[in-house]
Structure 1
Amino acid sequence: MTELGVGLTVLCLIFLFLGSGVWVFIGLILVSFTTQFFILDFPISRIGSIASKIMLRSASSWELAAIPMFIWMGDIIFRTDISQRLFKGLAPLVARVPGRLLHVNIVGCTLFAAVSGSSTATTATVGKISLEELSKRQYDPLLSVGSLAGAGSLGLLIPPSIVMIVYGILAEVSIVSLFAAGVFPGLMVAALYSLYIALRAELDPKIKTTLAVEDKQPIGLKDFFNLLPIFILIFVVLGSIYSGLATPSEAAAIGVVTAILIVTFTGQLSFALIADSLINSVKMSAMVVSLVIAAALLSTTMGYLHLPQSIANMIGGLDLSPYGLILMLALFYIMLGLFLEGISITVMSLPITLPLIVQAGFDPMWFGIFLILMVELATITPPVGFNLFVLQGLTNMPISRVARASAPFFLLLCLGVVILTIFPQIALWLPTFLKGAG
């Protein structure tokens, strides 16, 4: 069988197993086993030996320990009134900016993303509070929902990020450096969203942006105290990482302890809260780790087939410019985003796309941020965009209307990808600076 035939066969197997409705990690493992048995002609004993070694090595990675801790920290915050305090603290700060309280969605998601690591949790947490408050004040519902869909995706880009940890493990890139690389791109995307809202508010008189009575109050000490829990968590987690005092895994554990202390101080600690958040964290972590293990097995299988090298040589034969390659990969990821969620996209595509990127001379750390931006697009792309489903549940809007509301923010995110591609130092400057300072 030719190299092209092998590649198409593996691709068909991926679509076959995933299209059958099985869980993604099971589908990837079945693709690996089927390929090794029928194409590589490996005996069952060798397939089992390879699988056991790869699974054990992948599951025992120390960096994976950060995932359940970050998920648990975010889930603890999700189940308390800290998100309500976040809205109350931010409202006076943005009430006089064009677009008024719509900016709470952007700033609130940006801040909550720094303690969550999850796009879905960020969208759901901020949306629970902000959508109701914006509706009471008669803000434009499409702009309210769309801004939250776009800003909620920042949970993947603003560190700490679960997808960043997965990428760092698979691409063998420093997770601390990846966290640093995501800061300025995340702030850039948030700024694009806020600028769009401000321009829409200035140019479109139909958008309701009048100040409610309670929003006219001057900024006071109480607003600072409402924001304090989030700022404490951000300072403790990111400060311990960038200062070199803790690894991401250790910082995640410190974050959990800090979250519990904050919840205790605010009088919300209970056995039910700890138990429910812990159970959910175990479930989510098991899903993520299963995908990482399955991806490692698939990557090894593709290595035996020499498939990444073959595809890299084939695309290299097209004589594409570096920007042409990025455009092709961007379209590829947008297509994947129509059918898969972020971690699945990352673990499935990386064995193929990363060698191409390295061969073209791009920095793997920069590509990690590029990939996460593409994964963010998937969260607001129908038919399986997770943020769209979260917002549909919060608003009872038809999914088509939620998708239409999100469309401008999809385009803004695409603009962010273009800017990052033209100016890669947006992502690379801070990791380089911190490395030099250290």
Structure 2
Amino acid sequence: MDHQIFMLITISVALLVFLAGGLWVALSLVAVSVLAMAVFTSAPVGAVMATTIWGSANSWALSALPLFIWMGEILFRSRLSQDLFNGLAPWMSRIPGRLLHVNVLGCGIFAAVSGSSAATCATVGKMSLPELQKRGYPVDITMGSLAGSGTLGLLIPPSIILIVYGVAVEESIARLFVAGILPGIMLMGMFMAYVIGWSLLHPGAIPDEPNVTWGDRWRGLGKIAPVVGLIMAVIASIYTGIASPTDAAAVGVFLSLVLSRLTGTLSWASFVDGLLAATRTSCMIAFILAGAAFLTVAMGYTRIPSALAEYIGTLHLSPPALLAALTVLFVILGCFLDGISIVVLTTSVIMPMVQQAGIDTIWFGIFLVLVVEMAQITPPVGFNLFVIQGLTRHNLVRIAKSAMPFFLVLVAAVVMLVLFPGIATWMPANVKM
């Protein structure tokens, strides 16, 4: 075991050096894998690297990833995001917190067609922040609610990070999508409850909204109907077994193009921009996954994961104790890495421990996403914080402080998931696919 610990420390330090030196995450993973195999094993590095990287790229499940990303890029450039705000606003005008809830519900709805936390935060922020500022809403709670709610893009299906996790641990992506529904709804409810509580504790801070009629509300529903219809078509096709996640993603892209065309926002320039943006993001993620797959194989040759799993077994840690330790680890990693990098960097080492502890891999995927969501709003590399800074030009420290209450809400959501695991496991066990 001492030899494996020495290898793990050496590999970890090398990886930190590569990352701190500014080397791409994917190249850092490949470099540290080559180092581990060349120094600590006698395996043929070149042959293993070639077969592993090709095998990771040649995955049908992974083909859903660029399609869902493209779907989000199409909607990001359409008028549907503005319609989302205008459609939700009349329904929120009498609830404590009023239009702050548009941030929460808007992020929840857009997350169901985006799959990306940064895209969700940017899209909803572009439509809500100027409008809320114009109406006199407090800046800090406005930015904080957007930062926290933007993390829903990671959890509510179709989640890009759940696809990455499913590919990495060879788990059903459709079952992971189903598992994310109830936790996503729970988290939206918790965010809205906090906004209501804050508003009641700060009377007069939220400006009054003009009176709206039921006619205004029903017309608002008509504005959000296209987006909701798109969500229903994509998600229902997966859950009813009509289409696989990849097929459903293709349907989503087609319907997004149709909706964008019908709203008059689809042009050749916007089509090309969306396609290129989706290609860049997809290539970046695929490159990271290829490097992570090579690292997973390299770790197997060094026997570090199995040795760690055996060591964890000798400690007789209870599952809650293991989860607490992993939560601290993920939050620390989130200060320096994005969510996808955290997942692909850690799964090869931690999954043997998780399986040794008897933790369900579907449940753990949702737990992992919730913890990674926390990392999205922690400095210095909280991606949602950067998105909001780009939209508002406010100081990053101020944005991080405004997001801290929503970080604590995410902590409470993790505790709820640990205490009541059925929140994530009930639907996969009872929904036939």
* Alignment partner, residue 281 of structure 2: 284
* Alignment partner, residue 15 of structure 2: 14
* Cα contact 1:114–1:158 (8 A) shared by 2: yes
Deviation at 1:221, TM superposition (A): 3.5
1:373 is the counterpart of 2:370:
yes
Q: Which structure 2 residues correspond to residues 243-392 of structure 1 after superposition, within 5 A?
A: 243-392=240-389
Counterpart residue type for residue 189 of structure 1 = L
* Alignment partner, residue 55 of structure 2: 57
1-side partners of 2:221 and 2:316: how far apart? 56
Deviation at 1:41, TM superposition (A): 3.9
Deviation at 1:342, TM superposition (A): 0.5
Q: Which structure 2 residues correspond to residues 4-83 of structure 1 after superposition, within 5 A?
A: 4-42=5-43, 46-83=44-81
Deviation at 1:207, TM superposition (A): 2.1
**Residues 220/409 of structure 1: CA separation in 2 closer, same or farther (3 Å cut):** closer
* Alignment partner, residue 231 of structure 1: 228
* Cα contact 2:57–2:286 (8 A) shared by 1: yes
Counterpart residue type for residue 16 of structure 1 = V
Deviation at 1:4, TM superposition (A): 1.3
Deviations 1:366-412 (A, max 9, x none): 00000101111111000000000000111111000000000000000
Deviation at 1:353, TM superposition (A): 1.1
Deviations 1:286-313 (A, max 9, x none): 0011111111100000001111111122
2-side partners of 1:218 and 1:312: how far apart? 61
Aligned to 2:391, the other structure's residue is in SS state helix
* Cα contact 1:333–1:374 (8 A) shared by 2: yes
Deviations 1:103-149 (A, max 9, x none): 00000000000000000000000000111111111111110000000
Deviation at 1:425, TM superposition (A): 0.5
* Cα contact 1:98–1:209 (8 A) shared by 2: no
2-side partners of 1:7 and 1:267: how far apart? 55
Instruction: Count how many residue pairs are aligned between Structure 1 and Structure 2.
Output: 432
Aligned to 1:98, the other structure's residue is in SS state coil
* Cα contact 1:75–1:281 (8 A) shared by 2: yes
1-side partners of 2:193 and 2:297: how far apart? 45
Q: Which structure 2 residues correspond to residues 121-132 of structure 1 after superposition, within 5 A?
A: 121-132=119-130
Counterpart residue type for residue 31 of structure 1 = V
Pairwise CA RMSD: 1.2
Q: Which runs of 5+ in 1 are unaligned?
A: none
2-side partners of 1:79 and 1:311: how far apart? 47
Deviation at 1:152, TM superposition (A): 0.3
1-side partners of 2:232 and 2:185: how far apart? 17
Q: Out of 409-418 and 229-238, give the one that drifted further.
A: 229-238
* Cα contact 1:99–1:209 (8 A) shared by 2: no
Counterpart residue type for residue 387 of structure 2 = V
Deviation at 1:217, TM superposition (A): 6.8
* Cα contact 1:92–1:218 (8 A) shared by 2: no
Deviations 1:19-46 (A, max 9, x none): 111000000000001111112144xxx2
2-side partners of 1:216 and 1:192: how far apart? 28
* Alignment partner, residue 210 of structure 1: 208
1-side partners of 2:330 and 2:207: how far apart? 36
Deviations 1:212-267 (A, max 9, x none): 46x56754442122101211110111011011011001100000000011111112
1-side partners of 2:120 and 2:347: how far apart? 25
* Cα contact 1:260–1:269 (8 A) shared by 2: yes
Deviation at 1:358, TM superposition (A): 0.9
Counterpart residue type for residue 160 of structure 1 = P
* Cα contact 1:379–1:386 (8 A) shared by 2: yes
2-side partners of 1:88 and 1:347: how far apart? 38
Deviation at 1:206, TM superposition (A): 4.8
1-side partners of 2:71 and 2:115: how far apart? 9
TM-score by length of 2: 0.98
Q: 1:159 aligns with which of 157, 180, 205?
A: 157
* Alignment partner, residue 168 of structure 1: 166
Deviations 1:83-102 (A, max 9, x none): 10000000011111110000
Divergent runs of 4+, >6 A: none
Counterpart residue type for residue 306 of structure 2 = Q
2-side partners of 1:341 and 1:212: how far apart? 41
* Cα contact 2:92–2:98 (8 A) shared by 1: yes
Counterpart residue type for residue 364 of structure 1 = T
Q: Which runs of 5+ in 2 are unaligned?
A: none
1:402 is the counterpart of 2:395:
no
Counterpart residue type for residue 9 of structure 1 = T
TM-score by length of 1: 0.97
Task: Determine what percentage of the aligned residue pairs are the same residue.
Answer: 45
* Cα contact 2:118–2:387 (8 A) shared by 1: yes
1-side partners of 2:358 and 2:310: how far apart? 14
2-side partners of 1:312 and 1:103: how far apart? 44
2-side partners of 1:102 and 1:217: how far apart? 20
2-side partners of 1:392 and 1:218: how far apart? 37
Aligned to 1:310, the other structure's residue is in SS state helix
